[in-house]
Amino acid sequence: MMISSLTMLLVATIPNSTIAAASPSKSSVALSQQIDSYVEKASRTDGIRLPAIVSDDLFLRRISLDLLGRIPTRDELLQFRANPDRARAVALMLEHQDFAKFWSRVWTANLIGYSSDGRTDREALRQWLELKFASETSLDEIAAELISSEGKAAFDGSVNFMLRHAQDPVVPVGRIFLGVQLDCARCHDHPFDRWTQQDFEGMRRFFSRMRPRQVTAGDYELRDARGEGEKPQFLTGRQPRTGRWRQELALMITQSKPFGRAMANRLWYHFMGRGIGIEPDSVNGDNRSEHQALIESLAGVLRDSGYQLKPIILAICNSKTYQRRLSSSDPDWPL
C-alpha cells in the first residue's frame, strides 16, 4: 500500500491494519532471534566483543537511509523521539511512498549498472520496478518477468534488463539471480568451481532466439524468434518442455534453491554493507560461506513468505545484529 509523503509526520492517517500488516510475524521475529543467536555465537568463536546497540537517533537515521534512501526529516525525528518504538518505525517506513521509489533505484543499479548504453530506457525500468515494489509483487515474480519479458524499451519497462544484456545474458542472469559466476566457463572449464563450457553453452541456448532491434530513433524492442535448434539445458541438467525457452528458464531459476540464497544474501548485503562471508554474486559451489546455515535460514523465510520482501526486511532491521552493526570495513565484524 502506498501512502502520502506526510505519513511519517501524520502517523494518525495510517490505518492500524496497515501497520499491523507490516509488523513482524512470528516467523520474522524468530528469524531476528536466529540471526542474533548465530552472530553472537560466531563472535564468541572468533573472540570478538560485539558493540552496543546504537542510539535511537542513529537507528532512525540508519533505517531511513536503508529503506527510504535519505536521512529523516526534522519532523520524523521528533515523531520518533516521542515514541521510539523501533519495530513500529520500520513498519511505517515499509509503507512510505519513498520505499518503493528508493528500492527501484537500488535494483535498477543492481540490474543494469549506473551507465546508459543507448538501447535501454533506464527510467522505464526504474518506474516498472517502483510499481512492482509499491504493489508488493514478490521477488520471484519480478525476476521471472525480467528474464522472460518481450516488448519495447519505452513501454515495457521490464524488457530493459534483457535488452541491456542481450549480447551476453548468461553471466548477469547467473550472477544476479543464482549467485553463480559463469564468466570463466564462457571460454574454458571453471578452474575453481564446477561449471564447464558445456554448462555455459547449455544456458546460452535459452537466449539464442532473442532478437533485439531498433524500431524508432532511441527506442528498441526485444522479441523471441521462432525456430528449432538444439535444446538448452539448465545448470541442473533440466531442459525445457516447450518452445518458450526463456519463460521456462525463468521458472527453473525462481523455483531453485540457489535463487533464494542469492536473493537473501543480496538483501543482507544491502543492509549490512557486505554479504554473509561472501559477496552475493558467488553463493554457489566452492564459494559457499562457512556461515551457509544463516544464508539458508534467510532463504527459507523468503521462500516461506512467497518471496515477499517485507518479512525478511523486518527480521533483519529488528535484529540486534543490524541495530549494532559496525562499519562494513571493520575487520572484526563476525561473518
Whether residue 68 contacts residue 102, with contact meaning beta carbons closer than 8 Å, is answered with: yes
C-alpha cell at 224: 523471441
Distances (CA, A) of 311 to 31, 49, 314: 9, 29, 5
Q: Which of 179-183, 212-216, 248-252 has the highest mean pLDDT?
A: 248-252
Cα four-point dihedral sign 237, 241, 246, 248 = negative
Q: Which string of b and e fits 110-145 if b means at least 16 CB within 10 Å? A: bbbeeeeeebbbbebbbebbbebbbeebbbbebbbb
Residue 39: closest CA among 297, 247, 301, 329: 297
User: Rounded to an integer, what distance in angstroms lies between the CA atom of residue 302 and that of residue 143?
Assistant: 14
- C-alpha span between 252 and 202 (Å, rounded): 14
Listed ranges 37-41, 129-133, 269-273, 288-292; the one with the highest mean pLDDT: 129-133
pLDDT (tens digit per residue) in 20-67? 445 667 777 889 999 999 889 888 888 888 888 999 999 999 999 999
What length is written for the chain? 335
pTM tops 0.75, yes or no: yes
Q: 311 and 25 in contact (C-beta within 8 Å)?
A: yes
CA nearest to 164, candidates 117, 219, 104: 117
Per-residue pLDDT, averaged over 89-114, amounts to: 96
pLDDT digits (tens, 9 = 90+) for 199-245: 889 999 999 999 999 998 888 999 999 877 889 999 999 999 999 99
Examine the pLDDT at 17 and tell me if it is beyond 60. no
Cell of 317: 532491521
- 3-class DSSP assignment, residue 291: coil
User: Using 50, 70 and 90 to split pLDDT, how confident is the model at 281?
Assistant: low
Q: Which residues contact 19 (CB under 8 A, 6 or more apart)?
A: 88, 91, 92, 95
Do 176 and 262 form a contact (C-beta atoms < 8 A)? yes
Q: Is the pLDDT score of 275 beyond 70?
A: yes
Contact of 182 with 171, CB cutoff 8 Å: yes
